[in-house]
């Protein structure tokens, strides 16, 4: 892969949600590739932003703490960027049902605001937007391709679908060169671990590491595809560099769909002393559960040659190792004070100034 070669060297790249799980992994990789990276993150306590995610990269990444709901800061931040990886989002499905308006503000209205800011101040920018397979709802067939009917089972799915439609619209009408990636379950280092409202997987990993009993809803036989975050980062980088992907929507996916029970069994092996038990589906989760899901990612493979490189076992092992070492930065709500001090009160973290 790596068909992008030197594409990112010296480029001005902005990542919304840049201190979050996928955003920070992408940021670190972009820094390694020589890009000039600006991270924008709201640091909303319950979301994925975590200053430890850029540990060791503080001098090579610029950070601007701001919420995408703040239109005024957005208007400035988008200027002069060559590429925006637009990853900021409310990602908890349960939270979107309990507080649908906040989900709408972040996943729907702010996306429109970002695009409007680009239309007015940086129409030449390239955008790759992080969509989600959640928009499909319960699969009518498997694997799910991009033409599958869209029938979200939660408010998050509706708003994320609106978010991607805005990107495609601003591409069609104003020529803002956008691409949408519909992510499936992404996992790996730097994922939020403080609560269990952002998907089952991080919570399983945390419980396994802590030697707790994992509660598996239903029979545990639901199968899912999972992408280790380095594969997802690779997809963003490939797509951002290939002009033919503009105006298109692509599924991610993994050739090896795996049951929740199998995932748990791997975790039991990796973390001796942990165990699990099957429990009935809680009502609020059952209502928005989609059963089996795996995506057809052939369109993306054909467009940019993307193929997941990390198997579930390999990825889970990598994730467990990361949190065994760094878990204390993720179990707690408060980021390490030294890092937090550097970010507070100034647009810039790290040595580089905004106009460098």
**Cβ neighbours around 345 below 10 Å, total:** 7
Judged by beta carbon, residue 168 or residue 347, the one nearer a copy of itself is 168
Q: In whole angstroms, how close is the CB of 157 to a copy of itself at the nearest point?
A: 8
Q: In whole angstroms, how close is the CB of 202 to a copy of itself at the nearest point?
A: 24
Q: What angle do CA 194, 315, 143 make, to 5 degrees?
A: 100
Interface contacts to a copy of itself, rule CB under 8 A = 97, 100-101, 104, 108-109, 112-113, 116, 147, 149-155, 157-159, 161-162, 165-166, 168-169, 172-173, 287-288
Q: In whole angstroms, how close is the CB of 56 to a copy of itself at the nearest point?
A: 40
Closest by Cα among 42, 217, 237 to 128: 237
Judged by beta carbon, residue 197 or residue 318, the one nearer a copy of itself is 197
Q: CA dist 130 to 55, 73, 162, 232, 313, Å?
A: 24, 21, 12, 10, 25
Judged by beta carbon, residue 108 or residue 310, the one nearer a copy of itself is 108
Judged by beta carbon, residue 151 or residue 328, the one nearer a copy of itself is 151
Q: In whole angstroms, how close is the CB of 116 to a copy of itself at the nearest point?
A: 6
Q: In whole angstroms, how close is the CB of 112 to a copy of itself at the nearest point?
A: 6
> Quick one: 313 exposed, middle or buried, by C-beta within 10 A (0-12, 13-18, 19+)?
middle
Q: For residues 117 and 74, is the Cβ–Cβ distance under 8 A? A: yes
Q: For residues 29 and 233, is the Cβ–Cβ distance under 8 A? A: yes
Return the bridge partners of 16, or none.
Answer: 40, 86
Judged by beta carbon, residue 25 or residue 107, the one nearer a copy of itself is 107
Q: Is residue 74 helix, strand or coil?
A: helix
Judged by beta carbon, residue 249 or residue 258, the one nearer a copy of itself is 249
Q: In whole angstroms, how close is the CB of 25 to a copy of itself at the nearest point?
A: 30
């Amino acid at each position: 892969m790596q068909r992008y070669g030197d594409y990112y060297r010296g480029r001005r790249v902005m990542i919304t949600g840049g201190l979050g799980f996928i955003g920070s992994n992408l940021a670190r990789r972009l820094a390694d590739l020589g890009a000039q990276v600006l991270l924008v993150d709201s640091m909303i306590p319950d979301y994925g932003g975590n200053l430890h995610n850029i540990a060791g990269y503080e001098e090579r990444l610029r950070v601007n703490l701001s919420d995408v709901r703040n239109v005024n800061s957005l208007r400035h931040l988008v200027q002069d960027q060559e590429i925006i990886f637009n990853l900021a989002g409310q990602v908890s499905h349960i939270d979107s049902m309990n507080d649908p308006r906040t989900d709408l503000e972040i996943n729907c209205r702010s996306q429109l605001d970002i695009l409007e800011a680009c239309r007015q101040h940086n129409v030449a920018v390239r955008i790759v937007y992080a969509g989600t397979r959640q928009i499909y709802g319960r699969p009518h067939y498997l694997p799910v391709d991009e033409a599958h009917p869209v029938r979200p089972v939660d408010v998050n799915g509706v708003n994320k679908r609106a978010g991607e439609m805005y990107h495609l619209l601003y591409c069609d009408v104003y020529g803002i060169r956008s691409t949408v990636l519909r992510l499936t379950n992404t996992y790996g280092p730097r994922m939020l671990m403080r609560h269990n409202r952002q998907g089952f997987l991080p919570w399983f990993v945390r419980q396994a590491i802590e030697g707790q009993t994992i509660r598996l809803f239903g029979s545990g036989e639901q199968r899912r595809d999972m992408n280790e975050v380095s594969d997802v980062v690779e997809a963003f980088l490939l797509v951002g560099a290939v002009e033919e992907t503009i105006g298109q929507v692509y599924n991610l996916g993994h050739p090896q769909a795996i049951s929740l029970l199998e995932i748990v069994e791997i975790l039991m092996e990796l973390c001796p002393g942990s165990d699990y038990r099957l429990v009935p589906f809680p009502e609020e989760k059952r209502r928005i559960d989609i059963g089996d899901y795996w995506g057809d990612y052939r369109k993306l493979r054909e467009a940019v040659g993307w193929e997941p490189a990390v198997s579930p076992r390999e990825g889970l092992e990598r994730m467990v190792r990361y949190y065994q070492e760094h878990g204390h930065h993720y179990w707690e709500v408060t980021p390490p004070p030294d890092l937090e001090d550097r970010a507070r009160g100034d647009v810039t973290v790290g040595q580089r100034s905004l106009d460098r």
